[in-house]
Amino acid sequence: MDRRGQILPATRGLAVTLLRGQAIRIENIHGSQVVDTWALSAEDPLEYASMEHTRSWNSSVFVETGMAMVSIRRRPMLTMVADSSPGRHDTQLCPCSAELYQQLNCHGRHRSCTDNFHEALEPLGVKLPFTPASLNLFMNVPIAGDGSVTRVPPASKAGDSVTLRAEMDVTVVLSACPQDITPINGADHTPRDIAFAVIDG
């Protein structure tokens, strides 16, 4: 699937297949939107990008330019080749889920990154019985010396973007995070659209 200059609406998700050498550019149109990001091997979806192995591989809790997202088999899947934002893309926090919103006293159905991940894979015939941890692009989660984390609005500005290059044939799943209770999507707690483009190698 080769999509260019497309909009991913706020609170929604989609899957894009990249061939090795292709890249995806993800633009934070408004500057305040977090994008949960996953990668799965196009050959075997049970080989997926692992945040614990990615942290170990990079010796960092963040993913910055030049660093790779690696799989549970410690194979590079995506490399961050460009980043115009201040960086500090989070690898610590889980994708939001129905259970998380219940704990935040949200009654009724609330869209989530977990739902977006599974819904995006359905048209490809991919079903996983679990939700992997995501790379949370633009999410600003400072880590204190005592190990505590806080959730603050993104430091990115309108038009900032990240480019990820595929190191193998992969399915990339993006979720324009629906979080509207904590300030991770800006001080006004408002999810917004993002843009993406597939770039040939």
For residue range 145-187, list pLDDT tens digits in order.
Answer: 999 999 999 999 999 999 999 999 999 999 999 999 999 999 9
Residue 134: per-residue pLDDT: 98
Q: Where are the alpha helices (DSSP H) in the chain?
A: 51-58, 98-103, 113-121
Asked if residue 88 has pLDDT above 70, the reply is: yes
Mean pLDDT of the region 122-147: 95
Residue 75: per-residue pLDDT: 98
Q: What is the DSSP string of 159-185?
A: TEEEEEEESSSEEEEEEE----SSGGG
CA distance 62 to 54: 9
Q: Which residues pair with 36 in a beta bridge?
A: 136, 175
Residue 2: per-residue pLDDT: 40
Residues 6+ apart with CB under 8 A from 64: 80, 83, 87, 89
Mean per-residue pLDDT of the chain = 95
Residues 6+ apart with CB under 8 A from 3: 16, 196, 197, 198
At 10, the pLDDT band (50, 70, 90 cuts) reads very high
Residue 107: per-residue pLDDT: 82
